Chains A and B, each alone.
Chain A
Amino acid sequence: MSASAVSISHLSKDFRVGMRGVKLRAVDGVSLEIEKNQIFGLLGPNGSGKSTVMKLLLGLLEPTAGQCAIFGIGSHDIASRKEVGFLPEAPYFHKFLTGTELVEYYAKLCAMPRSKIAERTREVLAWVGLENAAARKVGTYSKGMLQRIGVAQALVHDPQLLVLDEPTAGVDPIGFERMATLLMELKRAGKTIFLCSHLLAQVETLCDRIAIMDRGKLVIEGAVDVLLDVQQQERIVVENVSAAVARQIRVLVEQQGGSVVHSEAVRLSLDALFLQHVHASVQSTEHDKAQW
């Protein structure tokens, strides 16, 4: 049986804080499995331990207890990171480098064959929509562009697992839509994506499975559809019906033993309204590809 992409078992992490070295338990007995070719969301409020779990998985921190493995290789082993691309929260990169130089730098650090670096760099920059800004210094990039160049450096060595820490934090709805499209393309290409976020509504549409953390503990985990479905309730949206017809529908439901729980005029979400108007105007300008 092939290994899961990510396997975390009874993971705990304590930090010592203050002069007296009081222990703060940031992660408390977390266990989860992420299968290959999934988009897995680790969700939770600020300070719930999501980023700490990611750092433990990547070997940036030592666990107090428990184990993590990537494609069956323990996180303490450098080899486990060969198939991992990581985007940290609010990424910062050396401002004096151009986009191309930055991605090539990380490609060299991943020991990519030198003959393939230039071509692969162009490929990933095109994939994230930064081919027109590749020659500009990273210090001139907007926040959205920094997120995209961060994804590019994470993808350059063609890893099978992407670990993204708050990939949509501080990004506007258009930027989120583009990030979401990119992540879906990566999933179709066979990649596994492990992301964490505290913006729950944003990632609801992206993830196949989610886990929610609170105060270091895993409180729930499962497939998004299963967790979010409200049992024995159905939403039916109708249009062009009069009040009389609506009353008849209500009576029919009650005759069949059901009840109408809620009825209201359908509203667009604010995100949808924003995208309808702003996205359309942005598409008509020359700056669409270069700016987020």
Chain B
Amino acid sequence: MVTVRHNRVFTIALYTFREAVRQRFLSVLLVLALGFIGSATFFLQFNFGGSELKFIADFGWGVMFLFGSIVAIVTPSHLFFSEIEHRTAMTLLAKPLPRSTFLLGKLVGVVLLLAMFTALLVSLLLAILAWRASTMADFEAVQSAGQMTLSYAGCALMGMLQFLKLSLLSAITLFICSFSKTNLYAVILGFFVMLVCQLQYLARDHWGAIDFLPLRYAVLIVSKVFPNLQLFNVGEALLFRTVVPMPLRLVGSIGLYGLLYIVFFYLMAVWSFRKREI
């Protein structure tokens, strides 16, 4: 069922990327996100002290997730339905091109876009953190005492985890698109699923406390099927290394968790799309 032709995947991915970067709303979101992160330089006026860097970092990850999730959900949905509505999907799928290759090409194209998006935002966040750390006298004192260090490598690792999280959202959206009839429905359902994934940890921790049996098992299924996006929020531990830094093995596990879920939702999309009428 799953047949992948690597060259053709990259061909579709490249053209998907070229189409995606031309979308006006992407430029607007990118400028807004860069602007918001850049506005962290104005926090200087509030003089939070040593915790200001953590605030800037959290603010940056929050902006990245807010705008990144919009890109991650809206872009694949728009590109997918654009192919359907303009009937370019017909000319593509009338070629000897497996549907799995078509879908993977679309996903990889969006992932390339997300890589560019997160790289730009992480670069700006890193620059602001570095600049602010260099101007804060008390932070230098804390660093000198070895109590806490600002890790730029940790920031880059956190950026990669955010990129994986957003790619996972895109894979989920692609699966939703594979059975949705309209772009709007896919986007709304995509944001709803994102919300469920953000709150998945509640389902995981509290399903056993529900008395009503059907609801209990429904919540249990949610906790098993939907990924826990909160797992990716290890920014503070990665960015501000304390005496015991976060093990890289743990970061690798989180990355593998994200990758496995991306593959899972891609395969679900292939299964759902195989009989879709074009």
Chain A residues proximal to chain B, CB less than 8 Å: 55, 58-62, 78-79, 81-82, 84, 86-94, 96-97, 105-106, 108-111, 150, 153, 157, 163
A62: contacting residue among B7, B8, B98, B275, CB under 8 A: B275
A58 touches B94 (CB 8 A): yes
Which B-chain residue is minimally distant from A93 (CB atoms)? B88
Query: Pick the contact of B91 from A79, A91, A97 — CB < 8 Å?
Result: A91
Residues of A within 8 A of B97 (CB): 78, 81, 109-110
- Quick check: is B205 within 8 A (CB to CB) of the other chain? no
**Do residues A153 and B277 form an inter-chain contact, with CB atoms below 8 A?**
no
**A88 and B87: CB pair below 8 A?**
yes
The answer to whether B96 and A105 have CB atoms under 8 Å apart is: no
Q: Which residues of B contact A (CB under 8 A)?
A: 3, 5, 7-8, 11-12, 15, 18-19, 22, 86-88, 90-98, 275, 277-278
Q: Residue A86 contacts which of B3, B7, B18, B94 (CB distance < 8 angstroms)?
A: B94
A to B CB contacts below 8 Å, 23 in the list = A58-B93, A60-B277, A61-B277, A78-B96, A78-B97, A78-B98, A81-B96, A87-B91, A88-B94, A89-B87, A91-B91, A92-B86, A94-B15, A94-B19, A96-B22, A105-B11, A106-B95, A108-B11, A109-B11, A109-B12, A109-B92, A110-B96, A111-B5
CA–CA, A20 and B19, complex, Å = 38
Q: How far is the CA of A76 from the CA of B7 in the complex (A)?
A: 23
In the complex, the answer to whether B11 meets A81 with C-beta atoms within 8 Å is no
Q: A76 to chain B: closest CB distance in Å?
A: 10
Shortest 7 CB-CB contacts between residues of A and residues of B: A86-B94, A92-B86, A60-B278, A81-B96, A108-B11, A82-B96, A58-B94
Residues of B close to A62: CB separation below 8 A: 275, 277
Q: Is the CB of B19 within 8 A of A96?
A: yes
Compute how far the CA of A105 lies from the CA of B19 in the bound complex, rounded to whole angstroms.
Answer: 13
Q: Is the CB of B91 within 8 A of A86?
A: yes
Question: A60 CA to B11 CA in the complex, in Å?
Answer: 21
Given contacts A60-B94, A88-B90, A109-B97, contact A96 B277 (CB under 8 A): no
Question: Which residues of B are found within 8 Å of A94, using beta-carbon distances?
Answer: 15, 19, 88
How close is B44's CB to chain A, nearest CB, in angstroms? 42
Is A60 within 8 A of B93, CB to CB? Answer: yes
In the complex, are the beta carbons of B96 and A111 less than 8 A apart?
Answer: yes
A84 contact set on B, CB distance < 8 A: 94
What B residues does A59 contact at CB under 8 A?
93-94
Our pick among A61, A87, A89, A110 for the contact of B95 (Cβ within 8 Å) is A110
CB pair B278–A55 under 8 Å, yes or no, is yes
On whether the beta carbons of A92 and B87 are closer than 8 Å, the reply is yes
CA separation between A163 and B94, bound complex, in Å? 10
Residues of A within 8 A of B18 (CB): 96
Complex Cα distance, B89 from A61, in Å, reads: 13
A-chain residues with CB within 8 Å of residue B22 when the two chains form the complex = 96
A109 near B8: Cβ-Cβ < 8 Å: yes
Q: Which residue of A lies closest to B94 (CB)?
A: A86
Nearest Cβ distance between residue A162 and chain B, in whole angstroms?
11
Per the bound structure, the CA–CA distance linking A108 and B11 in Å amounts to: 7
B251 to chain A, nearest CB (A): 37
Whether B15 pairs with A88 at a CB distance below 8 angstroms is no
CA distance A187 to B98 in the complex (A): 29
Distance (whole angstroms) from the CB of A148 to the closest CB of chain B: 14
A110 to B91, CA, bound (A): 11
- Contact between A111 and B91 (Cβ–Cβ < 8 Å)? no
**Which A residue's beta carbon lies closest to that of B19?**
A94
**Cα A153 to Cα B18 with chains together (Å):** 19
**Whole-angstrom CA separation of A106 from B93 in the bound complex:** 11
CB B193 to nearest CB in A, in angstroms, measures 25
Closest to B102 in A: A109
Point out the residues of chain B lying under 8 angstroms from A58, CB to CB: 90, 93-94
Given A88-B90, A91-B87, A92-B86, check contact A81 B275 (CB 8 Å).
no
Could you tell me the distance between the alpha carbons of A96 and B93 in the complex, rounded to whole angstroms? 21
Chain B residues with Cβ below 8 Å from A105 are: 11, 15
Which residues of chain B come closer than 8 Å to A60, judged between CB atoms? 90, 93-94, 277-278
Q: Is the CB of A79 within 8 A of B96?
A: yes
Alpha-carbon separation in the docked complex, A60 to B102 (Å):
14
**CA of A175 to CA of B194, assembled, Å:** 51
Complex CA gap A150/B15 in Å reads 18
- Complex CA–CA separation, A93 to B5 (angstroms): 23
Query: What is the CA–CA distance of A126 and B87 in the complex, to the nearest angstrom?
Result: 25
A248 CB → nearest B CB, Å: 61
**Chain A residues whose CB sits within 8 angstroms of the CB of B8 once the complex forms:** 108-109, 111
B3: chain A residues within 8 A (beta carbon): 78
Tell me the bound Cα distance from A169 to B243 in angstroms: 74
Q: Is the CB of B98 within 8 A of A106?
A: no
Residues of A within 8 A of B11 (CB): 105, 108-109
